[in-house]
Amino acid sequence: MRRSELGRGGFEVSAIGLGCWGMSGSYGPADEAESVATLHHALDRGVTLIDTADSYGDDGHNERLLGRALDGRRHEAVLATKTGFVRRTAADGTTAVEVDGRPGRIRSACEASLARLRTEVIDLYYLHRADPDVPIEESVGAMAELVAAGKVRAIGLSEVSEATLRRAHAAHPIAALQSEYSPWTREPEAAVMPACRELGIAFVPFSPLGRGFLTGTLTDPRRLARGDWRASNARFAGGNLARNLALLRPLEEVARPHGAKPGQVALAWVLSRGERVIPIPGMKRRTHLDENAAAADIGLTPEEIARLDAAFPPGAAAGDRYDPGQARWLGR
């Protein structure tokens, strides 16, 4: 697996990383033994960037899983985790997800993540979303203190605006910005990705396969497993899904002469966007990891890239990527 630089003056990571959200049930039931085997297989193949968050699964399940899986192999991984999302329980027993970027909360969350991950240092610590009630300089300041204390090596942000990114970077160097990005989610190209290139910040696309849609295997939402997050997502619903299915044909046609699958071409397209564009497709099976890792070896021609650019213009996907409640924290 070839390497990419994580931020200017940062450290090297694999060109494709491993997103671990699906290992905690977000896309239907997960097999813990297979998840651990997938993590080990990733390291064996040279996939070193491993991405999690303290909000993945109940009670830090995903971080605990990684802590166990990486026991004895921690030195082989560049470990990224995130904080910011919190679940609060109201007096009537209902729960709601909120964003908390207060410095004290960030410091305590980091300590909890270190314990769950069984590590002395987090390689890349992200603020999962910018807190609208806390100046970004205050949140980043707390993260900078963690760097100075040797508990974090580098810091990142997720799903913030260009303006917020620049303010944060002025307060402390930002190594990476994580946002959803794929052929059917191209909004970051307008402002955020150019800012990353200018400032020497790595851009880390999550869901580079369109939450699995661009693999061409999710054609019937009725086949989604119980608890699968996509069952309530607008892009996989009714008429939106029917319109989105037409987008798969160009991927299939470009994939054919390469002897590749549509998802591999989608990943190759993402990789073509720049040296410091490091996608982290979600994977919870070894077979998926092998398919995705092989995408790094697909060389799309300029003509093929132009064809996919034209087939997937910004806004091509039908349906919002988040419901209004989840979308309110995007691009702050």
Q: Which of 261, 242, 259 is nearest to 251 (CA)?
A: 261
Q: Give 51's strand partners.
A: 19, 80
Q: Checking DSSP bridges between strand 85-89 and strand 95-99, what pairing results, if any?
A: antiparallel
State residue 6 phi and psi, 5-degree precision. -90, 90
Nearest to 273 by CA among 149, 187, 207, 182: 182
Q: Which two tokens stand for residue 231?
A: 């069952």
What are the distances in angstroms from CA 143 to CA 52, 164, 212, 259? 17, 15, 32, 45
56 part of the active site: yes
Which is the catalytic residue, given 56, 125, 126, 181? Answer: 56
How does strand 176-180 pair with strand 152-158? parallel
What do you get for the CA distance between the two ends of the chain, in Å? Answer: 34
Instruction: Using DSSP, state whether 146 is helix, strand or coil.
Output: helix
Bridge partners of 89, per DSSP, are 95
Q: Which residues are catalytic?
A: 56
